[in-house]
């Protein structure tokens, strides 16, 4: 499976949430701007979408979160100062976000759920766009590349293609979970045929250990489905329910199993792991952090009661 099929032109990034799991910092700083080492999560997601071939990012925001979009606007004054001071490395970092991809935003007027947030992007789609990518910025999926694999699968199967991770039973209730009736492995890619989906099931009701990991390539039919589903888990319009509705209509849905790392940037515990993981991968901070972590853990063991 190495056909390098086109990824949808538009990647939707829902970023309208209040970030309550991250209070108090999210009183003034949107969680999408918190730094993973030195780069905000929203820039990591934009880079991933651009790398897969998407041409524009539609960020769904809410009132008070303008700074998320501002991160993608050139800061001429800062650039001039850095250029004058000969700080070329920093200049490159500052310019990167704006150069990655075209960014637009759509305001979700009320917090009615992930499905509703995605539906807000329909108004800005071109008539010829038959599919969209959706990237949830809380999910950091490493290494990048799964979106391209999902596009390649869609070129073969049609319909919609999602990303699955295998999750232990005690954690499964935090996710949208797949019902699956067929697994095929092609080279190193495992693809599930999805026959149903349920949002945040009780552990004993989860139909499989495979959960949705925040990367979606959705047929445009999703917008019709989103109009039809009633509010579900948490009283919110769920993307999962719209996908389940499409499956019920005979729409093909598959999921690519991601075998690398996946972090949840939406809560402090997951965010810290993501920051450490990313820092360990870097040449500038990795070696020193590794030494310090080993020492720190060693001294904890030696001084444990
Ligand atoms: C959302 C989706 C869920 C998915 C999860 C992945 O849930 O509704 O289906 O499995 O993201 O992170 P949330 O984490 O926003 O509650």
Instruction: Report d(CA 268, CA 237) in Å as an integer.
Output: 26
For residue 65, what are its two tokens? 């979160």
- CA–CA distances in Å: residue 256 to residues 107, 259, 283: 31, 9, 31
Q: What is the pLDDT of residues 68-121, one digit of tens each?
A: 999 999 999 999 999 999 999 999 999 999 999 999 999 999 999 999 999 999
Q: What is the pLDDT of residues 239-274, one digit of tens each?
A: 999 999 999 999 999 999 999 999 999 999 999 999
Q: Beta-carbon neighbour count of residue 237 at 10 Å?
A: 21
Mean pLDDT of 48-76: 96
Residue 1: what pLDDT? 54
Residue 168: what pLDDT? 96
Residue 222: what pLDDT? 98
Residue 303 predicted with pLDDT over 90: no
Instruction: State percent of the chain over pLDDT 90.
Output: 93
Residue 67 predicted with pLDDT over 70: yes
Instruction: State percent of the chain over pLDDT 70.
Output: 98
Instruction: Report d(CA 61, CA 118) in Å as an integer.
Output: 11
Residue 3: what pLDDT? 60
Residue 2 predicted with pLDDT over 60: no
Cβ of 211 below 6 Å from ligand 1: yes
Ligand 1 pocket: which of 174, 231, 238 to mutate (most atoms within 8 A of CB)? 174
Question: CB-based burial of residue 175 (10 Å sphere; 0-12 exposed, 13-18 middle, 19+ buried)?
Answer: buried
Mean pLDDT of 268-288: 97
Got the DSSP string for 73-115? S--HHHHHHHHHTT-HHHHHHHHHHHHHSEEEEEE-SS---HH
Residue ranges of the alpha helices (H) in the chain? Answer: 41-51, 66-70, 76-84, 88-100, 114-119, 146-157, 221-228, 239-248, 268-280, 286-302
Task: Compare 4 and 216 and report the one with higher pLDDT.
Answer: 216
Instruction: Report d(CA 223, CA 118) in Å as an integer.
Output: 8
Q: Whose CA is nearest to atom 8 of ligand 1?
A: 176
Mean pLDDT of 190-200: 97
Mean pLDDT of 50-73: 96
Number of the ligand 1 atom closest to the C-alpha atom of 264: 12
Cα of 83 vs centre of ligand 1, distance in Å, is: 42
The residues, any chain, with a CB within 8 Å of residue 241's CB and separated by 6 or more, are 115, 199, 229, 230, 232
Residue 31: what pLDDT? 96
Number of the ligand 1 atom closest to the C-alpha atom of 266: 14
Cα of 288 vs centre of ligand 1, distance in Å, is: 34
Ligand 1 pocket: which of 112, 208, 214, 274 to mutate (most atoms within 8 A of CB)? 214
Q: Whose CA is nearest to atom 7 of ligand 1?
A: 175
Strands 160-166 and 253-257: parallel
Cβ of 68 below 6 Å from ligand 1: no
Confidence of residue 131 (pLDDT cuts 50, 70, 90): very high
Q: Are 6 and 55 in contact (CB under 8 A)?
A: no
Instruction: Report d(CA 277, CA 222) in Å as an integer.
Output: 34
Question: CB-based burial of residue 185 (10 Å sphere; 0-12 exposed, 13-18 middle, 19+ buried)?
Answer: exposed
Cβ of 240 below 6 Å from ligand 1: yes
**Torsion angle of C-alpha atoms 20, 66, 263, 286, degrees rounded to 10:** -120
Confidence of residue 227 (pLDDT cuts 50, 70, 90): very high
Residue 64: what pLDDT? 87
For 128-175, the three-class secondary structure string (H helix, E strand, C coil) is CCCEEEEECCCEEEECCCHHHHHHHHHHHHCCEEEEEEECCHHHHHHC
Residue 304 predicted with pLDDT over 70: no
Q: Are 188 and 159 in contact (CB under 8 A)?
A: no
Instruction: Name the average pLDDT for the chain.
Output: 95
Residue 186: what pLDDT? 83
Cα of 214 vs centre of ligand 1, distance in Å, is: 6
Instruction: Report d(CA 135, CA 10) in Å as an integer.
Output: 11
Residue 21 predicted with pLDDT over 80: yes
């Amino acid at each position: 499976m190495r056909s390098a099929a086109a990824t949808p032109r538009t990647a939707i990034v829902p970023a309208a949430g209040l970030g309550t799991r991250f209070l108090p910092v999210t009183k003034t700083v949107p969680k999408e701007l918190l730094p993973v080492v030195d780069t905000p999560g929203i820039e990591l997601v934009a880079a991933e979408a651009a790398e897969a071939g998407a041409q524009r990012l539609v960020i769904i925001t809410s009132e008070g979160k303008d700074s998320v979009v501002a991160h993608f606007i050139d800061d001429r004054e800062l650039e001039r100062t850095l250029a004058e001071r000969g700080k070329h490395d920093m200049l490159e970092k500052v310019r990167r976000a704006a150069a990655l991809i075209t960014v637009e935003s759509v305001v979700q007027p009320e917090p009615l759920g992930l499905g509703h947030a995605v539906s807000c992007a329909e108004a800005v789609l071109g008539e010829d766009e038959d599919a969209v990518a959706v990237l949830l910025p809380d999910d950091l999926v490493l290494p990048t590349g799964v979106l391209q694999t999902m596009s390649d699968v869609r070129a073969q199967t049609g319909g919609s293609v999602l990303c699955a991770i295998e999750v232990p039973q005690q954690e499964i209730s935090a996710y949208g979970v797949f019902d699956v009736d067929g697994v095929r492995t092609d080279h190193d890619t495992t693809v599930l045929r999805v026959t149903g989906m349920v949002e945040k099931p009780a552990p004993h009701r989860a139909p499989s250990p495979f959960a949705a990991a925040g990367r979606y390539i959705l047929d445009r039919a999703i917008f019709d489905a989103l109009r039809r589903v009633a509010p579900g888990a948490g009283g919110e319009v769920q993307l999962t329910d719209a996908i389940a509705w499409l499956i019920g209509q005979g729409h093909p849905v598959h999921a690519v199993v991601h075998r690398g790392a996946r972090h949840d940037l939406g809560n402090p515990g997951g965010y810290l792991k993501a920051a450490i993981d990313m820092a360990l991968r870097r040449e500038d901070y990795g070696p020193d952090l590794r030494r310090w972590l080993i020492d720190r853990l060693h001294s904890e063991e030696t001084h444990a009661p």
